[in-house]
């Protein structure tokens, strides 16, 4: 719950939040589980976790070293805590999944993400507290872009649960509409596009999944017809509820020069110049871009500006590792065979968590630059994806074991003949 209210849970008026302290506590406690996790995880997930967390640990060390030359040493913790969430969430989710009834506990985590996505959206829609709406709403985050990142990361999880659920499908349709409406009222144009595009990619992948297996042809046809209608409805909703965001988005899509895009290009240019002035050390992790902005609004440029070429190399390695893992998970899910209900549910959740993590990576090329307030919305879907990939492998192996038993065990007919 705390990761959805970083603005409301600040410590003594600083950028620090209760969620940071909880993450640090979980990361310290999680060290005890690392050895057990690497032994019990599939070798692919174990190797991926080690590679990602090693890279993340190197970023933490580099960030702390940058304190020596940073103008504001305490701001280097901005980059540190963004990575600490990885050490908190990946071991926590995987350790929980390995306990008795661990799968049910992980499903409750997914339910919690959905509930908090809807609750935050409803607060924004109602204009309560710090979620008051003019043409941009930050909810209980520090900036509207952060709210947009959180909601765009939550959308694919709502959509995935909508597909696999049978009991609460009508309620989940309402949840999906509420999160979309919250995204519209956030006023974040980038995250509106990312959220809608991610939702389209998810349903498109699910359509391919059904087509390969020759399942539910009527659903595929209905989805193909309704997709452009829903896209048009989303744009009309944006135009009606947030005319300014719609106007700026239209200008950008038609090749015009929107103010926000021009200011970003100027910000990127200044950030690149600062990085080139300090190519090996950067200006220090978490340092603002002068008096212009708190960060560079681009993940790669931000790490180059703040930590030089070493920081850029580390973040590129992290992004490439995650992107490769996401692509592998999606391709494996589409090509895997098997039509059991459990296998289908797991496959859909793999697609949903993959798109959720992908949305975060794409959004950070224009928005938050991997800030600590939004970092949980990258690490949590990634940890959930690792769980569902492991579950996917176990379903496949159990199916193979059953098939082997079927073909190797002698039938009663043969036992009678033998006797």
User: Does residue 409 sit within a domain?
Assistant: no
Q: pLDDT tens digits for 321-353? A: 999 999 999 999 988 765 666 788 899 999 999
Q: Which ranges constitute the DSSP H helices of 255-338?
A: 259-277, 299-335
> Which pair of tokens denotes residue 308?
């030089």
SS3 10: strand
Q: State pLDDT tens for residues 109-124.
A: 999 999 999 999 998 8
Mean pLDDT, rounded, for 300-308: 92
Range of the domain at 183: 2-8+15-397
CA distance 318 to 301: 15
Residue 234 and residue 196 in contact, taking contact as beta carbons nearer than 8 Å? yes
The pTM (predicted TM-score) of the whole model is 0.86
Mean pLDDT, all residues of the chain? 82
Q: What's residue 133's pLDDT?
A: 56
Could you tell me if residue 419 is inside a domain? no
Instruction: Give mean pLDDT, residues 182-201.
Output: 85
Backbone angles phi, psi at 289, to 5 degrees: -85, 80
Mean pLDDT of 66-92: 90
Calpha distance 11→198 (Å, rounded): 34
Q: Which three-class secondary structure state does DSSP give residue 17? A: strand
Q: How far apart are CA 303 and CA 314, in angstroms?
A: 9
Of 35 and 65, the one with more pLDDT: 65
Angle between helices 43-65 and 376-408 (to 10 degrees): 160
The helix/strand/coil state of 152 is helix
Which residues, 6+ apart, have CB-to-CB distance to 153 below 8 Å? 356, 357, 359, 360, 363, 377, 378, 381
Contacting residues for 4 by C-beta, under 8 A, at least 6 apart:
116, 119, 120, 140, 150
| Residue 322 CB partners (closer than 8 Å, separation 6+) | 52, 357, 361, 382
Name residues whose C-beta falls within 8 Å of residue 131's C-beta, 6 or more positions apart in sequence: 120, 123, 124, 137, 138, 139, 140
Q: 74 or 53, which is more confident?
A: 53
Q: Which two tokens stand for residue 216?
A: 């539910």
**289 by DSSP, 3-state: which?**
strand
Query: What pLDDT does residue 14 have?
Result: 46
**How far, in whole angstroms, is CA 43 from its chain's centroid?**
23
- Per-residue pLDDT, 329: 93
296 token code pair? 């560079």
Structural domain contains residue 415: no
- Our count of domains for the chain comes to 1
Question: How far, in Å, CA of 132 to CA of 130, rounded?
Answer: 6
- Residue 127 tokens read as 């204009």
And the tokens for 417? Answer: 């003949």
d(CA 154, CA 191): 12
Q: Is residue 402 part of a domain?
A: no
Average pLDDT over residues 293-321: 92
Q: How far apart are CA 359 and CA 202, in angstroms?
A: 11
Cα–Cα distance measured from residue 8 to residue 2, given in angstroms and rounded to the nearest whole number: 9
Query: Long-range contacts made by residues 8-15, C-beta under 8 angstroms, separation at least 24?
Result: 8/129, 8/130, 8/140, 15/78, 15/142, 15/372
In a domain, 40, yes or no: yes
Is residue 405 situated within a structural domain?
no
pLDDT value of residue 305: 92
Is there a contact between 178 and 410 (Cβ–Cβ < 8 Å)?
Answer: no
pLDDT of residue 418: 40
CA separation for the pair 139, 131 (Å, rounded): 4
**End-to-end CA distance of the chain, in Å?**
65
Q: What is the Cα gyration radius of the chain?
A: 23
In a domain, 413, yes or no: no
Is the CB of residue 360 less than 8 Å from the CB of residue 381? yes
Is residue 289 a part of any domain in this protein?
A: yes
* pLDDT the model gives residue 31: 77
Lookup: tokens for 335: 């090509």
Q: How many helices (H) and strands (E) does the chain have?
A: 15, 0
């Amino acid at each position: 719950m705390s990761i959805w209210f970083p603005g409301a849970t600040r410590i003594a008026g600083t950028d620090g939040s209760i969620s940071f302290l909880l993450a640090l506590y979980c990361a310290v406690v999680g060290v005890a589980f690392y050895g057990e996790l690497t032994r019990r995880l599939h070798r692919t997930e174990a190797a991926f976790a080690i590679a990602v967390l090693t890279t993340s640990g190197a970023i933490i060390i580099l960030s702390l070293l940058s304190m020596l030359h940073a103008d504001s040493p305490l701001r280097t913790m901005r980059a540190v805590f963004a990575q600490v969430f990885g050490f908190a969430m990946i071991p926590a989710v995987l350790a929980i999944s390995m306990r008795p009834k661990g799968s049910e506990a992980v499903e409750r985590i997914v339910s919690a993400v959905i509930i908090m996505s809807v609750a935050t959206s409803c607060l924004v829609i109602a204009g309560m507290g710090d979620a008051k709406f003019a043409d941009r709403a930050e909810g209980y985050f520090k900036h509207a872009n952060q709210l947009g990142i959180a909601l765009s990361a939550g959308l694919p999880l709502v959509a995935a649960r909508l597909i696999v659920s049978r009991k609460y499908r009508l309620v989940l349709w309402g949840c999906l509409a509420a999160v979309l409406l919250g995204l519209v009222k956030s006023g974040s144009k980038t995250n509106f596009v990312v959220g809608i595009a991610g939702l389209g990619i998810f349903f498109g992948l699910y359509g391919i999944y059904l087509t390969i297996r020759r399942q539910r042809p009527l659903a595929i046809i209905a989805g193909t017809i309704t997709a452009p209608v829903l896209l048009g409805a989303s744009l009309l909703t944006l135009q009606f509820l947030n005319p300014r965001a719609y106007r700026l988005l239209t200008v950008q899509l038609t090749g015009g020069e929107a103010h926000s895009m021009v200011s970003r290009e100027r910000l990127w240019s200044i950030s690149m110049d600062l990085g080139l002035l300090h190519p090996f050390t950067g200006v220090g992790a978490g340092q603002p871009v002068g008096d212009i902005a708190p960060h560079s609004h681009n993940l790669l440029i931000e790490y180059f500006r703040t930590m030089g070429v070493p920081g850029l190399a580390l973040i590129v390695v992290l992004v490439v590792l995650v992107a490769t893992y996401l692509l592998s998970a999606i391709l494996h899910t589409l090509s895997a065979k098997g039509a059991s209900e459990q296998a289908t549910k797991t496959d859909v959740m793999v697609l949903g968590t993959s798109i959720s993590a992908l949305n975060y990576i794409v959004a950070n090329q224009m928005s938050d630059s991997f800030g600590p307030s939004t970092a949980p919305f990258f690490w949590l879907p990634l940890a959930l994806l690792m769980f569902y990939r492991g579950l996917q492998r176990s379903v496949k192996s159990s199916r193979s074991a059953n098939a082997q038993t079927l073909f190797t065990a002698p039938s009663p007919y043969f036992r009678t003949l033998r006797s």
